[in-house]
Amino acid sequence: MSSSVLIIGGGVVGQSCAWFLQRTGHAVTLVDQGDLISNCSTGNAGYICPSHVVPLAAPGMVRKGLRMMFDPRAPFYIRPRIDPVLWRWTWLFLRHANHRHLMASREALARLSLYSQQSLEAILQETGIDAAYEREGLLMACRSKKHLAEECAESEHAKAVGMAVEILSAEAVREMNPDLDLDTVGGVWYPGDTHFSPGRYLSGLQAALERSGVQILPDTRVTGMEERGGRIVSVQTGGGEIQADEVILSSGAWSGELMRSIGLRLPVQGAKGYSFTLEHPPVLPRHPFILADHKVAVTPMGDRLRFAGTLELAGHDLSINPVRVERILEVVRECLPAFREYDFSGIQPWSGLRPCSPDGLPYIGRWPGMHNLTLATGHAMLGMTLGAGTGQLIADILNEEEPHLPLAPFRADRFR
């Protein structure tokens, strides 16, 4: 059944929803507060990583978080502030950071990740987008025995849900990227993971959406929604009011704020991350990898090289924290001797907000009691991995078809 659909949010999830909905005859309008180029989806590490089946809310995260949360140089940081919304999110996070939640979530994440990887490859094949998509796996490179043991323990969860995993010696790690002279004690390699250039992918997907007739409204901030009789009857923007038969909320870190405009609570926190992209790197790795001890990602994207890292709960603040930026650069120079300080001279760091739910699972599905409101948000650091599959599932829902995957773990109102 075709209808008019308004999608709020033009990141990878919103564009994926638009792609699959327009293919089944819906009239789609996509609205975004930015230019669809500099959003959270374009500056990330570019990993499609089904191997990451352990949710953010996992055993040990509370202990690690307490140790790091007030250190502005640590991989994880919470900016101290008086914010009841953050306090509730933190309380819910604490309730889910346990073994039971991990065991209940890992298979759901694995199934959605693999399905999404297949959906993404179908989009690439159909559109012909040149996104520098590569099947080179993902390596977790460890400099200490402690972190190697942690990564090996985490890899057991990936193995348990059918992912391919290889434990590598220090020599094997160096052989994967021999020009980098990585100083490691070993690593964990996930050969089924892939990577690409997210900016090239999304610019190509946006062009494909426009060719297919999707109306795209950039630089249009949604300020609220109006609900009447269990329906969204209008969406307010800086450019006026928009009405549609169906509304999809995929506005990332701003989703909770928009839900509050109609009196509903959706716990979402923006987790700020940073990245740098070298146009002419002195060395280009053969395989992407994460410096596991410091949580810094290193991704070749065609002839370019991207470094990305940190998770900072800082509300909607996108400002650049020089202390955290400098720490990423220190890690790169310390772990990768081929890179010097001048290699990063004049390069503007990018920042973006990853939308995190308190249990580490996205929100996908209808909001009960709201007949035309569907959520597709809260994907945290897995937006690129889960985006295409989420778009296909949203199309299933609006087309009143049986979803390709069970949606119970991702229920939109589970924290109502």
Average pLDDT (271-277) is: 92
Residue 388 belongs to a domain with what CATH number?
Answer: 3.50.50.60
Distance, CA of 148 to CA of 16 (rounded, Å): 36
Residue 60: which pLDDT band, with cuts at 50, 70 and 90? confident
Domain assignment of residue 416, yes or no: no
* pLDDT value at residue 297: 96
Q: How many helices (H) and strands (E) does the chain have?
A: 10, 20
* pLDDT value at residue 320: 87
Nearest 10 degrees: Cα torsion 165, 305, 292, 319: -130
* pLDDT value at residue 40: 75
Instruction: Convert the pLDDT of each residue in 347-397 to its tens digit.
Output: 999 999 999 999 999 999 999 999 999 999 999 999 999 999 999 999 999
Domain assignment of residue 92, yes or no: yes
- Tell me: pLDDT of 66 over 60: no
Lowest pLDDT segment from 39-43, 82-86, 363-367 = 39-43
Domain assignment of residue 341, yes or no: yes
Domain assignment of residue 415, yes or no: no
Instruction: Convert the pLDDT of each residue in 106-115 to its tens digit.
Output: 999 999 999 9
Residue 157 main-chain phi, psi, to 5 deg: -70, -40
Q: Say what the pTM is.
A: 0.95
| Total domains in the fold of the chain | 1
Task: Share the mean pLDDT of the chain.
Answer: 93
* pLDDT value at residue 274: 92
Domain assignment of residue 366, yes or no: yes
Residue 391 tokens, joined: 């778009």
Residue 69: which pLDDT band, with cuts at 50, 70 and 90? low
* pLDDT value at residue 70: 62
Distance, CA of 416 to CA of 414 (rounded, Å): 6
DSSP letters spanning 117-137: HHHHHHHHHHH------B---
Percent of the chain's residues with pLDDT above 70: 95
Query: Domain limits at 191?
Result: 4-410
- Tell me: pLDDT of 261 over 60: yes
